[in-house]
Structure 1
């Protein structure tokens, strides 16, 4: 339940960010996009509810462990812990944002979306304040986490809203002319901030693959590969496809890209509710190794082992298969075959995963 709530929370942020940003774009630089105001309102109301789920679970756990009442534990969390303080501000900000979205003037006033977008950005900052990096590294962790999630929300939010709520393909060239550089900038910042976050939370990246957290982090990173492949084809291949095939529908391909993005968000949600392994050896004293790792690893396992890369025939074959699948995504795009391209994108992740795991097995 907690993983689902975290994933839905990120989706709500992406929809709000994308929809509000697109309201600021001139009509001649985007397709006709209609996002129901009720959906934006629902996302806003859902944010404090979904972000309360881990706090509720934490209060239940502490109340049981320390033999205290749920109310007293909850009061302590909300007033003394960063996660609780951030939730209070999130609830206040969400209430204000819901009020703005509920105003009749919101639809027609050109300044209202700017204010709503600013409040959404504040909510993202408070989400970063509640994260692991902020609690461990203070302001550095807060800025890094917030930048990571903000740029990802901008990129995926615009992608998601455009692919699912665009009513036509009008002005698609004009849309890509500004969205492609924005997406590239967001990808670069997201990757850079993600790398910095990883040095904060998971300094022993390869060794962390022994743990459930490390396995989920690896899967998340590998899911970014097909996401980038689809982003590349959608951003740079559309013009040629449109010239060759006037009936080509780019929204189908953007939707496929958005589905992969949802998988990345799901993995991110799962990571957000696990303690990062700062020292793998110590973490293994209290956390069991990942079943995925133990199923593949051939050596004798102990908490003291240090994983090392060694190329084997199996891993080379897996890497080769991943490269073929990655090339197949581009080829299928040029052939306008969406389902095979999507399958090849997922298989790129699968083969890369086994290639890496076989390299340490």
Structure 2
């Protein structure tokens, strides 16, 4: 293997995130056994096989060497075009997404948006949207923007419902994020480049898991739907036939325990059939008025934040963890460890004690939040 000391952490993170078949579940399992990314790329294939007690093409010396070389090219190109890479241990990484087992370990991002804003909705629907779907998407985004503080709108920049949601967010003066299925030195569809540029200029972002040498493939558009579903608190399906990407995204959102809402339509309208099916099979709540959605989610009223009081007998380390979780709900132990500069083992021990004390609570997805 090459001298990994010559590579900085950014290159190692990009390379590790790009391991074939890698995701949050597999990646954290590897790191639990190996220790860190530098050791993973610095060990020989034989050493890795012994440590992992497994054989796999991703442990091959030449394969890992090629990954590092490719990652170095990506880091240089990203810097050249003002694109950032956020790794799963970075506090900027969307913590809602980090709680999904199949989430990517890193994202390339253009723009500067709080991906952990207190309220995030994803809006999806058919590319062949009707005037009913487009006007409804615009109405829900604009009215929610006026009643819900710190709202971010996520979609996929596609024709139809996606771009209608982005435009409505821009018109309402709130950040909107596009999850792209192509590298960030390209925009798809190209006709939406002005929208993407305006999004970035107005506090939004365009992000993707794919590096600059990735080739466009239809399967990538389906794969990106898990990011759209995983980043949000709730998913709004505005128009869809019985099959399609929006129905896949709704299924993913349900599997991630997200709230799913669907816009009802006439039974004779092809692009309402999917929404009506979701509603009739309890795969989604019926979407009628923005205020009803906000009320259901508990977003209807903005409360003035108050200074939270913590037990006086907490250690400095425990207090640091609780304060971090108070601002970053549903965080995983590895994210906490990175944010508070503690070892993973020490964080896990502290979380156990804090949970017994009632200061933190574990979440179904394996994360932790401060108790309220």
TM-score (norm 1): 0.25
Could you say which structure has the higher helix fraction?
1
TM-score (norm 2): 0.25
Higher RCO (CA 8 Å, separation ≥ 6 residues): 1
Could you say which structure has the higher strand fraction?
2
